[in-house]
Amino acid sequence: MAANFKITIHPNGDMMQLKLKGYFDGISAYELINILKQCCRHTSKISIQTSGLREVNPFGLAVLQDNLKSLNGRSLELVFSGQQASQFARAAPLGTDLVITQSEQIG
C-alpha cells in the first residue's frame, strides 16, 4: 500500500464499510479495486467514506473508472459518502450493472 494512502475495512452487518485516507491517485485506485474484489465475495453492499482524503487526483478517478468494469456481472452496490463522494460517484463506468450512489451523509 502506498505510504500516503490507507484503506480501513469495517464489517457492519450485511454491509462492508471502507474508509479512505490520504492522497487518492492511480496506485490508490488499484488498491481500492483489489479490496472491492475481495469484499464483494462476502457482501453485496459496500459503503465507502471519502472524508479522510486530502486530495483526489483526476488520473486516480480515471483508473478507478476503467477498473470498476472488472466488477461487472457481480451483484454489488457501492455507496460513496463524505466530502469527495460526488467525484467518486461520477466515476461509475457506463454499460455496467454496478449500482453506484452518493450518500448525503458527511460523517
Q: What is the DSSP letter of 52?
A: E
pLDDT, tens digit (0-9, with 9 covering 90-100), for 38-91: 887 778 889 999 999 999 999 999 999 888 888 777 778 888 999 889 888 877
CA separation for the pair 102, 82 (Å, rounded): 9
Q: What is the DSSP string of 8-51?
A: EEEEETTEEEEEEEEEE-HHHHHHHHHHHHHHTTT-SEEEEEEE
Q: Which fold has domain 5-102?
A: Transcription Regulator spoIIAA (3.30.750)
Average pLDDT of the chain, as a whole number: 85
pLDDT of res. 22: 97
CA separation for the pair 3, 56 (Å, rounded): 15
pLDDT, tens digit (0-9, with 9 covering 90-100), for 42-52: 788 899 999 99
